[in-house]
Amino acid sequence: MADASPIGIFIAGVLTLGIFSFLYKDNPVYKVCEAIFIGVSAAYWAVEYFYSALYKKFWLGVIPPEGSGADPDMWLWGGAILGVLMLCRMIPKINWLSRWPLAFIVGATAGLYMMTFFVSNAMNQIASTMQPLIQDTFLATLGSFTVAIGTVTGLIYFFFSKEHKGIFGGAAKVGIWFLMVTFGASFGYTVMSRMSLLIGRLDFLFSSWATNFGQMF
Amino acid sequence: MKRTIPWIITIVTGFVLVIAEFVPPWGKMREDVLIYFQIISVFAFFLGGGSLLKINLQKVFSKRTDWEYALVTVVGFFVMLALGLFKLGNPEMATAGYAADLNANGSWFKNLFDAVKAPLSASMYSLLAFFIASASYRAFRAKNSDATVLLVSAFIILMGQTFVGVVATGWMPDWVSFFKVENLSLWLLAKANLAGQRAILIGIALGIVSMSLRVILGIERTHLSGGDE
């Protein structure tokens, strides 16, 4: 907002206060701000995708700009045809055609991500866990044991084919504690990020907006 | 036919892309598919935008409860769409035409983003800070051992990131510096939290692999259900 116009800053401040008015209770000002947010956000992402994908990737791919030296990539028509078939969902008589692009997306996602996730999320994570347990210092050794025990017991908790009883149940319980630490850390970070957003908005209201307001009126 | 052809498309696409992983000359196919995803997603966005418009316009024309807000949504949608699609007020339009940068400085699209979309989005999410505070008051009661571990871990992480936490344990001598809240917080993140994250990631990966196999082998067909036969 550093280079925004005074009227832009004024509108931004009014909308921010409109959203914060919900803290008192649900009211028409908040509802108007919410309605603007929905409409503007939907259009914003539609335009962004239109230019980044349909124009830059498809249009400039099949009709390269003169002088670019690139050959037209006719394979891209396949994506466009599937995209148009997706719109058939709006026409009741032929809405079954929209299953074709959906089937392509599901099949392609399965084919693309099966190997990627297996390598990056499973094999690499297992390889990183398989490290020497005894390290140079006590703290490093404690850390190695914590990671190894936490990962194994966490996985035991996710193993539902065997009843969580006896030693297996005890290991699953330890796994839950490690998962709780993870959820606690995620929660702590979420609180911090929301608080920093709030501080950012309050800082905007009390600095940029207040100064701008004083100059405008 | 209405379900068989899509079923075959799913199986063939999945198989070909798995094989492409092991056949280097087919590597470009995987890149092309990612572009296909982007192109199809644009049409999916059109579908979503169309649905949003349909619902809100129906509300406006039938004068249902709160139709005024639906009208605001429609106006907001069309204004942003027009400014972006036609690049109205974009200073680069004169020289670059439709190749002009969508977010060029001074363009009306960017101005509307800065004045409306960005502050509304940030304010909406910052509002969650208040609700998280009241939710944590209810959730953070140490009712059992699991809840206590979650509470202690979140508390240490929060204190480790704030000035108050650092000051509160700053008096500790060096030989117990591990227990200073900032060090404890870092250790929790780097070790205990990492272990939990790994268990979750490995679990997700195994889940994705088994689900992908079901899709590629044609066992999973739920995405083809619904609608007419």
Q: pLDDT tens across A42-55, in order?
A: 999 999 999 998 99
Residues of B in contact with A8 (CB under 8 A): 111, 114-115
Give per-residue burial for B148-164: e unless 16+ CB within 10 Å, then b.
Answer: ebbbbbbbbbbbbbeee
> Would the pLDDT of B226 be above 80?
no
What are the pLDDT digits (tens) for B13-36? 999 999 988 888 888 888 888 899
Does residue A66 or residue A62 have the better pLDDT? A62
B217–chain A Cβ distance below 8 A for any pair: no
B130: which 2 tokens? 């208040």
If you average pLDDT over residues A74-90, what whole number do you get? Answer: 91
- Mean pLDDT to the nearest integer, A179-204: 90
Distance CA B12, CA B7 (A): 9
Quick one: average pLDDT of A64-78?
Answer: 86
Q: Which of residues 146-205 of B touch A (CB under 8 A)?
A: 146-147, 149-158, 161, 178, 187-205
pLDDT band at B227 (very low <50, low <70, confident <90, very high): low
Cα torsion for A114, A117, A120, A126, to the nearest 10°?
-100
Residue B63 — left, alpha, or beta (φ > 0 → left; ψ -120 to 50 → alpha)? left
Q: Per-residue pLDDT averaged across B49-53, rounded? A: 91
State phi, psi for B175 to the nearest 5 degrees: -70, -15
Mean pLDDT of A80-93: 90
Q: What is the mean pLDDT of residues B125-152?
A: 82
Sorting pLDDT into bands at 50, 70 and 90, what band is B68?
very high
Average pLDDT over residues A13-33: 94
Cβ separation B119–A46 shorter than 8 A: no
ipTM surpassing 0.90: no
Closest to A126 in 3D by CA, of B203, B113, B122, B209: B203
Select the residue of B36, B119, B216 nearest A16 (Cβ to Cβ): B119
Query: Which of A133-137, A144-148, A179-183 is predicted least confidently?
Result: A133-137
As a whole number of angstroms, the distance between CA A16 and CA A205 comes to 8
Using a CB-CB cut-off of 8 Å, the residues of chain B touching A35 are 69-70, 72-73, 76
Q: For residue B228, what pLDDT is reported?
A: 59
What is the average pLDDT score of chain A? 90
The distance of A165 to chain B (nearest Cα, Å) reads 18
A189 to chain B: which residues are within 8 Å by CB?
Answer: 157
* B72-97 mean pLDDT: 91
Task: Check whether B229 has a pLDDT greater than 60.
Answer: no
Q: Please tell me the predicted confidence (pLDDT) of residue A213.
A: 78
Counting one residue from A and one from B, how many pairs have CB atoms under 8 Å apart?
405
What is the pLDDT averaged over residues B122-149?
83
The average confidence (pLDDT) of chain B is 89
Q: How far apart are CA A171 and CA A157, in angstroms?
A: 8
Residue B93 above 90 pLDDT? Answer: no
- pLDDT, greater one: B68 or B145: B68
The Cα–Cα gap between A151 and B197 comes to 8
Q: Which two tokens stand for residue B66?
A: 């709160």
| pLDDT number for residue B3 | 85
Longest dimension (CA), chain B: 76
Distance CA B90, CA B98 (A): 10
The interface residues of chain A toward chain B in range 113-152, judged by CB-CB distance below 8 A, are 113-115, 117-118, 120-122, 125-126, 128-129, 139, 142-143, 146-151
Amino acid A1: pLDDT: 55
What tokens does A154 get?
């966490």
The rounded percent of chain A whose pLDDT value lies above 70 is 99
Q: Which residues of B touch A145 (CB under 8 A)?
A: none
Q: Which chain B residues have a beta carbon less than 8 Å from that of A194?
A: 125-126, 128-129, 132
Confidence tier at A80 by pLDDT (50, 70, 90): very high
Confidence of residue B217 (pLDDT cuts 50, 70, 90): very high
Most confident segment among A112-126, B42-56, B68-82: B68-82
pLDDT class for A143, splitting at 50, 70, 90? very high
